[in-house]
Structure 1
């Protein structure tokens, strides 16, 4: 039995994948009461329901559950990603990256590694965690691991990569950064992609095409659940947008009516799935007009969201829609976690894997997806928006970014004045 300690567990996306690869979660650390209840609803893991910060790390590592487990094979963690997201760099309150109090969880992760010294670790976060010019999170971990090695004589070497879930069979385009290390200092080679985009290079032609939304959720009957019906100001406009498009369809560069300026809204605004493509990234926050929406112009059901995240089929969630969306949107697709866990098991623990078999959580290919649903005309109520709309001025130049920059400058002046 390979024993895993799970930090910032959430609904368990990472854990489900490691479980499928043969690891056992001996304890899950999660602070949110609703999320902890969801973990218990699905698995019999011991849940340490507590905030994980540097002050609590010692208590967690000295708990009876951890001590009785003996030496840990791996610590897996997905600390809060909001401080390192692209949006955080333009927040009006000026807090982003390591300035955000939530980033202290990195110190807690490092302290758990120092106290338990597992044979391996895996940490996951958003691409902004290692973005050029904003890589404070990555630098913090690299520096911290160096200190752990210096203090305890371990030889952890951090290997990191940005991976796209769709490249590994997940029916969702979702990029995340993964950091992997082994206590004995051996190298880790990230797995090669197993799937390809239809527009890939000639070198990719031997790989199967990306897993599509139809593969994942096409067999789910159409739902008439009123709770999934899109509501709000923009509900009537969604049927006029083709599958795989968003509000950009109705700009001067799209194929619809000029209702909006180019890139003046968030990407998820009126974003719709296409049957023959992977899903766009499932978000943790879901406004009334924020997608991705189903191609039948409604919100996605819990079952559909779980399928697009490649959770095991027996996963349940007894929570409000907003809480469920947050849990799913914050999770790692379990199939990608399984692929990484299998590589860790092979490279660090000497396991022999049957490469002729697909991963346990792989999504079976279905029949060819039906033709795309025809769009409807733009309702007359939206015709008053037709006109010439200015494009977004560019990255870092919009009104939100300007307000955020002003807030940061003001905060810096106050700091210097103090």
Structure 2
């Protein structure tokens, strides 16, 4: 196998399920060059073309049907010369969102799990120096580890057929530990061709690091919008006029009998992100790709986040452009890997491939802007919602709510839904550390 030599050689990569390029941008910042980006969504393809016209895109962006020979031709590389094959296969089969929406997940029985198999097929065909699979934590749940077993079994077969020694390391990383002002945990399955193991990068920010977590204020506190833009960002739907009565950093739980507002809802009877607002002095909660009209996080000024603000909260570089309307752009951002988190992983991989010392400084991390202004005083609840004042039953507890009672039915029907890369838990069933109230 031919491979790059010397620390000066630029590392290359082939990217599958590229989306808007969040994972690639992190690898780019760590010294990798994307030779080919495979993505089938039209808006995401346009986003990539506009921002990174040098990234070759095959006409057929469906990784399930793309011949490896075409990938190598576009990359101008031969088998064994690809440094990194990276990608985040659609994660609904393994996500908590799908579990709570349907009461179960079909995991490898889900047709969309074929994207993982397709990635492994292409890995065998091109034999990269390292394979990087990014996904939600659920891909490696110990209770249901079919995906992990699939990866390990397939790589054992590859090793037997080709004399390689692919060995897989699994790490779970929280984006806030790496200068991303947003709570978003991701799993990385990393397999080196020569049996090297992946040492997870140590947190750069947060407790014990000497650096504070990046906050929403650090990311978007300097962003301003004109009156027309603010009109377009006004909240919509049944609950829009209730949002100003909730303080920043809180959600609907403010208006329960255990909160400090009015008793309008039962405790933990709504989605966690229902009427959830950013706090200036904390990282943002996970930006979802396809939220409903009352799904946060909303801006502390009681409005939708702009595309530029969401991109900054994800640590996309300044000026990165997204194709399509608001919904299409939000979907791309919400489905993306935070580039700063990807950079931390990529720098560790680059150091391993080059046999060099790991450098922890991240060029894409959001830096501090200093203390934020004090929170604004919430408004009074408007008259239209005061009819809800009264006694409301709390959620009965984990395993006793409507979703739990539907699980036997859901296991038989297993309806599918949710965003391609959404890892937000859509139902708040009592996890105290996630409560905003």
TM beyond 0.5: yes
Deviations 1:86-129 (A, max 9, x none): 12124449653112111110100111110111001211111121
Tell me what 2:272 maps to: 267
Q: In structure 1, what is the Cα distance between the partners aligned to 2:338 and 2:240? A: 29
Aligned-residue CA RMSD (Å) = 2.0
Q: In structure 2, what is the Cα distance between the partners aligned to 1:37 and 1:410? A: 36
Tell me what 1:289 maps to: 294
Q: In structure 1, what is the Cα distance between the partners aligned to 2:243 and 2:218? A: 23
Q: In structure 1, what is the Cα distance between the partners aligned to 2:151 and 2:391? A: 48
Q: In structure 2, what is the Cα distance between the partners aligned to 1:330 and 1:67? A: 29
Secondary structure class of the residue paired with 2:248: coil
Aligned with residue 48 of structure 2, among 25, 39, 52 = 39
Taking a change above 3 Å as real, the CA distance of residues 36 and 55 of structure 1, as seen in their structure-2 partners, is closer
Per-residue deviation at 1:349? Answer: 1.9
Does 1:116 pair with 2:126? yes
117-126 vs 396-405, greater mean Cα deviation: 396-405
Secondary structure class of the residue paired with 1:150: helix
> What are the within-5 Å matches in structure 2 for residues 44-83 of structure 1?
44=53, 45-52=55-62, 54-58=64-68, 60-61=70-71, 64-66=73-75, 68=77, 71-83=81-93
Which stretches in structure 2 are left out of the alignment for 5+ residues?
Answer: 1-9, 415-437
Taking a change above 3 Å as real, the CA distance of residues 319 and 55 of structure 1, as seen in their structure-2 partners, is closer
Taking a change above 3 Å as real, the CA distance of residues 324 and 207 of structure 1, as seen in their structure-2 partners, is same
Q: In structure 1, what is the Cα distance between the partners aligned to 2:329 and 2:413? A: 37
Mapped contact 2:137–2:172 kept (Cα < 8 A): yes
Taking a change above 3 Å as real, the CA distance of residues 410 and 24 of structure 1, as seen in their structure-2 partners, is closer
Tell me what 1:387 maps to: 390
Quick one: higher RCO (CA 8 Å, sep 6+), 1 or 2? 2
Secondary structure class of the residue paired with 2:18: coil
Which stretches in structure 1 are left out of the alignment for 5+ residues?
Answer: 412-418
Deviations 1:22-46 (A, max 9, x none): 1000000001112111110110211
TM-score normalised by structure 1 residue count: 0.91
Tell me what 1:125 maps to: 135
Tell me what 1:308 maps to: 313
Tell me what 2:420 maps to: none
90-99 vs 135-144, greater mean Cα deviation: 90-99
> What are the within-5 Å matches in structure 2 for residues 10-409 of structure 1?
10-44=19-53, 45-52=55-62, 54-58=64-68, 60-61=70-71, 64-66=73-75, 68=77, 71-92=81-102, 96-196=106-206, 200=207, 204=208, 206-224=209-227, 225=229, 226-352=231-357, 358-409=361-412
Deviations 1:226-275 (A, max 9, x none): 21110111011111111111111112222211111222211111110010
Per-residue deviation at 1:395? Answer: 3.3
Equivalent pairs, count: 401
Secondary structure class of the residue paired with 1:28: strand
